[in-house]
Amino acid sequence: MSSKKMVKLIALYKKPEDVASFEDNYFNSHIPLASKMPGLKKVEISKVNGAPGGEAEYYLMAELYFEDMDSLKAAMSSPEGKAAAKNLMGFAKDIVSMMFADVIEEKALAQV
């Protein structure tokens, strides 16, 4: 990535009641739709496996990277973005929290 500061849409998901159904909808329906959003530079999906205090409040985290906030907003209001949002609300509206973030620093650490 360039030194230009990117932005990202972060989606945090609490543990669904039916994990198998959620994962089927998420990975086989939602992600293919979201991946078509214009201007999307990178997607990271992380499965949360714990927290320093024990069990984590969240089950899954998705980070969708865009060049800038205008690109992110344009992607969300595009037909592809609207389709992805409608799809997500159909199966995860009660367990998802979404937010925007500026990428302040990104660098790979050298292997020791």
Task: Assess contact for 78 and 38: CB atoms under 8 A.
Answer: yes
25-80 residue pLDDT tens: 999 999 999 999 999 999 999 999 999 988 899 999 999 999 999 999 999 999 99
| Phi/psi of residue 81, nearest 5 degrees | -65, -40
Comparison of pLDDT for 53 and 87, the residue scoring more: 87
Task: Supply the pTM of this predicted model.
Answer: 0.87
* pLDDT at residue 112, as a whole number: 55
Tokens of 82: 């609207």
Break the chain into its structural domains and give their ranges.
20-101
Task: Assess contact for 69 and 7: CB atoms under 8 A.
Answer: yes
Q: Looking at 12-16, 38-42, 92-96, 104-108, which range is the least confident one?
A: 104-108
Q: Does domain 20-101 have CATH number 3.30.70.100?
A: yes
